[in-house]
Amino acid sequence: MNNAMQAIHDDRLLQDGLLVIDKPGRDDLAPQPPQSSQQAASGRPSTRLLSSHDVVARVRAWSGQRRIGHTGTLDPMASGLLLLCLGKATRLVEFYQHQRKRYQAVIVLGAATDTDDATGRVIDTASVPVLDPAAIERTLASFLGDVEQQAPLYAAIKQQGETLYRRARRGEAITAPVRVVTFYALNLVEFTPPDRITLDIECSAGAYIRSLARDLGRALGSVAYLQALRRTRIGEFTIEEAHSLLAVEQACREGRLSDLLLPVGERLPLPSHRLDDETLRRLGHGQVVLLAEDACDPERRLAAARDAQNRLIGIIRRLDKAASNGGWRWKAEKWLE
């Protein structure tokens, strides 16, 4: 085995961790109108956009690592932060995917599309009232907090065992589900009269910015679609630390993907407890242990178990308070080592 092949082989042995990627999408700034009904009917090919699944497939092919998952879908037209979990880190996807997200969005008033974004065909048009920033900000305030939001028809949500977008593409009559999402911040970045709105958005996982664009258009007395979307933050991960796909491909070719990976459990959104080797051994064997520490996630009573070097060893669950010494009983929930 030559040195280059040996380097790639050795690198594959180290492919456990988090990979922060800057996913490409449509040009975030150039005004690109959605297709008209005539354009859609013509079958004219459009620019190939990458889905989140496409990105995962590419990294699998480049790296040879089969165990890869992402922590939250980005629509093909959207660019920005995509957090991948590799190897052992795939067991932590559920903990990363429920974090807050931050986006920059461009919304265009006066037209509605079947997908609620610029990749769809125009299904409705309406006049745009005369607006000013103050009026837009007042309307945005009505969307803050917990709101009921209907998903777009073209969405990855499953209904009757199949994704909505597959059923929508077949022309089936479907009703998208409604669920409660949270908008923590809706800041007007720029208004370009008469119809272009740029927003900075912080929201809960599961919120659809396409649906926000649609609903905002209606609330402003018109219709609207999402022109461009860029995700800039997931929890504590930011776009500034993300790697381009070109950089990831090059690193894989040179056998140094491990240089781009963050440690397994990096910025895991759970309280952490550093434990000694004996306690970790007992937890790993399925035993219940007593700890003085009580900090845990309030919903599921979970915490991260780390060793003396702060490496994540597993996820533990707090059971109940021990009557004897006032400590707490803990048991392994998910073990990585």
Which is it for strands 162-163 and 158-159: parallel, antiparallel or unpaired? antiparallel
Selecting among 11, 22, 75, 116, the annotated active-site residue is 75
User: How far apart, in whole angstroms, are the C-alpha atoms of residue 158 and residue 316?
Assistant: 31
Question: Which residues are within 8 A (CB) of 294 and not within 5 positions of it... i.e. 6 or more apart?
Answer: 318, 328
Verify whether residue 75 is a known catalytic residue.
Answer: yes
Alpha-carbon distances of 230 from 55, 238, 255, rounded to whole Å = 16, 12, 30
Are the CB atoms for 128 and 216 separated by under 8 Å?
no
User: How far apart, in whole angstroms, are the C-alpha atoms of residue 124 and residue 220?
Assistant: 15
The sheet that has 328-335: what strands, in order across it?
272-274, 302-306, 312-321, 328-335, 289-291
User: How far apart, in whole angstroms, are the C-alpha atoms of residue 109 and residue 175?
Assistant: 24
The three-state secondary structure class of 253 is helix
Are the CB atoms for 22 and 242 separated by under 8 Å?
yes
Peptide bond into 76 cis (omega under 30): no
User: How far apart, in whole angstroms, are the C-alpha atoms of residue 254 and residue 62?
Assistant: 11
Alpha helices in 28-179 (DSSP H): 37-42, 52-63, 93-96, 133-141, 164-169
User: How far apart, in whole angstroms, are the C-alpha atoms of residue 48 and residue 304?
Assistant: 41
For 197, the token pair is: 């709105």
DSSP 325: T
- Map tokens 């900075």 to a residue: 200
Question: Which residues are within 8 A (CB) of 79 and not within 5 positions of it... i.e. 6 or more apart?
Answer: 22, 23, 24, 25, 26, 28, 229, 230, 231
Query: Which residues carry out catalysis?
Result: 75
